[in-house]
Amino acid sequence: MILPLAPTDLLPKVIMGVDPGTQIMGYAVIEVQGQRVRMLQYDVIDMRKLGTNHALKLKKIFERMTELIDEFLPDELAIEAPFFGVNVQSMLKLGRAQGVAIAACLARQIPYVEYAPTKVKQSVTGSGNATKEQVAHMLRQTLKLPPLEEAPKFLDATDALAVAMCHHYQKGNNVKAGGKSWGKFLADNPGKLAATTTVKKAPSRKKPAA
């Protein structure tokens, strides 16, 4: 028996997925309405030219995330949690990069959820031990994406797309930070955008009143 969708499931929702990194950070934006998923954009924030200046990298992450938020007006952020490794310094830097991405969303009152890498892989491929290539292959089949070169930066982008899809499969039930979206904030405060950014604003997505 197929249960009818709840009224809130019929409204379009924009989800941003992020795969944190200190050299290349993947991001993806999808729009979900009911069971339909439309991929809006997936790409990377490439910081390799910044060398070893970690402060500049954090600044670029915050600025680029803010631009993306203002362009796509996401309702929720899904971000991959840092994995535990043997290099403590690398873990600390990765955690800072993740924190800056989260801070950019919280500054726009966007709720966020963290997902463990194994949870993301399992939700997309059925295996928590799947490789990046296997994740990318499954996403291309599921979303009918055009073929891309198997360059590392594209695998970071598809990893971010996997995080967004993982959140979609969870039906957003794990949102735990705040309750307002940036789109809702703009609707309530139309004069704020001009004061906070010069990026061209995407067309507003009006939702019917509940």
What gap in Å lies between CA 152 and CA 3, rounded to an integer? Answer: 41
The torsion of the CA quartet 56, 80, 44, 58, rounded to 10 degrees, works out to -10
Candidate list 19, 70, 76, 159, residue with the active-site label: 19
80 is known as an active-site residue: yes
3-state secondary structure of 114: strand
Give the residue carrying structure tokens 């604003």. 201
Candidate list 70, 76, 80, 159, residue with the active-site label: 80
Q: Is 75 annotated as a binding residue?
A: no
188 is known as an active-site residue: no
Q: Is 80 annotated as a binding residue?
A: yes
156 is known as an active-site residue: yes
- The pair phi, psi for residue 46, each rounded to 5°, is -95, 115
Give how far Cα 74 sits from Cα of 26, 51, 127, Å.
16, 30, 28
Q: What are the catalytic residues? A: 19, 80, 156
Annotated binding site: 19, 80, 156
